[in-house]
Amino acid sequence: MPETTRTAILIVDDHVLVRDGVREILEAQEDMRVVGEAGDSPTAVALAAELRPDVVLLDIEIPGEGAITNVGRIREVSPESAVVILSMFEGPRLLHELMEAGIRGYLLKTVTRQELVAAIRSVAGDEHRVVFSVSKESLTYVRGPAEETLTEREREILQLTAEALSNKQIASRLSTTEATIKRNLRAIFGKLGAVSRIDAVNKAVAASLIVGVTGSAAQSRPVDPAHMPGRREIGHRYVATGTDHPGPAGRGRFRSGSTERGRAPGDGPR
C-alpha cells in the first residue's frame, strides 16, 4: 500500500518499552505506519506540528504539561489529527474533561492488539466516530455528569492523605483496614478525575472539599509532591515509590461507540 494512503500515527508515551510494543503492533498492519515517537509533551507538540499525523496515541501522564493542555496544544498545531488517549487510568471526570478538549478516543492499556488496531481504523476512517474503552460509570458521566460529592468518610481519608499519612497510617487512625482505604481512594480518584494522591488532594483543596496543608481552608495551597509519602525525586519529576496510588483493580474492554463493564486500574496512571 502506498505510504500516502496508510494511516500515519504518532506515539506519545514516556516508557520506551510501551512505545516499542505499540510500534511493533502498528507497523505489522499494512494500512498503518508510525511516523514519530515522543516521550514528553514538548516533543509531542513539536512532532505533531511537523508531521501532522492522522492519529496521535497519547498517554495522559507524561513529563511536561497536563493531559488537557497536551490535547489542546496538539489539536491547535495539527487540527486534523485524531487524538486517542492510551492510558492505565480511567476517571469519569477526567474523561469528561478530555472529551470537552476534543479527544476522539480513550483506550485503557489493557486492550488487546486487535482492539487497539480496530480503534485506530475506526477514528481514522470516520471523522465523526469516537471510541472508548471505559466503564459504564464513566460513559454515563460523559453523557451527562451528575453532581458528585465526596462522602464524609472520603473527605476524612483525603484530609489525612493531605497530611502526608500513608494508607497504613490512615487505616490505623480510622480503625479500618488498608484495603478499605485503597478502595476509598479509588472512589475518590474517580469522582475527582484525579491521577494520583497529590492530584486528588490539590483538586479537593481547590474545590474547598478539604482543608489545605496550611491549616485553614482560606489559606489552602496545593500540596508539594516532596511532602507526600511514597514519592521520590528524579531530576525535576516526582515518581511513585509504592504508596502513591490506591491499589490494583480490574480492566476495561473496547467496543467502537459503546463500552463493556470494566474498572480503571487502581494502581493509578502509570
State pTM to two decimals: 0.55
pLDDT in tens, 118-155: 999 999 998 888 888 766 666 655 554 434 568 889 98
Label the pairing between strands 231-234 and 237-240: antiparallel
Distances in Å between the Cα of 107 and the Cα atoms of 58, 59, 88, 150, 223 are 10, 10, 9, 26, 30
Taking the CB of residue 63, how many other CB atoms lie within 10 A of it? 13
What is the CATH code for 3-143+252-259? 3.40.50.2300
One-letter amino acid identity for 67? A
pLDDT in tens, 198-240: 988 988 887 778 877 654 333 444 555 555 544 444 443 333 3
What is the CATH code for 152-240? 1.10.10.10
The ranges of the chain annotated as CATH 1.10.10.10 are: 152-240
In this predicted structure, what is the pLDDT of residue 232? 44
Cα dihedral sign, 96-56-127-27: negative
